Copies of this chain bind each other. A is one copy, B any other.
Amino acid sequence: MAQVRPMRADARRNYERLLKVAAEAFAEHGESASLDDIAKRAGVGSGTLYRHFPTRQALLEAAYVGRVEALGSRADELAAQLPPGEALTEWLYELCVGSIQVRGLKALLGSAVTDGSTAALTACGTTVRGAADRLIEAARADGFLRADLEPVELLRLAHGVTTAAELADGKGTRIRRYLALVTEGLRA
């Protein structure tokens, strides 16, 4: 079922140009970049954009799958070359930095760890949750993390840290500091 006949050549062309332009636009203006504008810049009508990507979320997701997957493989890379605790710490840092630098990515990652989200949260959610699972499992086995911490909770807290760092200066300078505060606790 769901016979997937290949896209017509013109459709595929438009699809790809939209993705490219969208990634730029979201990075520049954040997740609320104008969709009509993206269509215009890609040289297609807005109808075409909405046919390929029914919702803003769909476009956002499609535009950044690559980046999210890079985050996933980066996790394995770090796991291979650092002790579990450090690998996790560094990965979280890169996650937060990406969330701030690539505007729009934060929104995507956020919705990937939202509970009430529409059913299956797609590739991105799976990818990033999977990566986190692996790193956390290792870190926990190594005695670095408390045992009662769910992976998704850590991802949500990382999102929170990003938000906090954004409030500070909008540029992510404070990420390392806030991440350390959260990891080590606020107690004397």
Contacts and interface: CB of A to CB of B under 8 A. Distances in A.
Interface string A154-180: 101101111111011110000001100
Given A115-B167, A116-B170, A185 B188 contact: no
Copies per assembly: 2
Contact of A147 (B110, B160, B188): B188
B110 A146 contact: no
A115 B168 contact: yes
How would you classify the secondary structure of chain A's contact residues: helix, strand, loop or mixed?
Answer: helix
A184 interface: yes
Contact of A183 (B168, B177, B187): B187
Best-buried of A146, A164, A178 by chain B (most CB within 10 Å): A164
A10 B184 CA distance: 56
Interface in A35-83: none
- The bracket for how many chain A residues form the interface is 35 or more
A161 B143 CA distance: 24
A146 B183 CA distance: 13
Interface of A: 110, 113-116, 140, 143-147, 149, 153-154, 156-157, 159-165, 167-170, 177-178, 181-188
Nearest to A166: B114
A181 B115 contact: no
Nearest to A152: B168
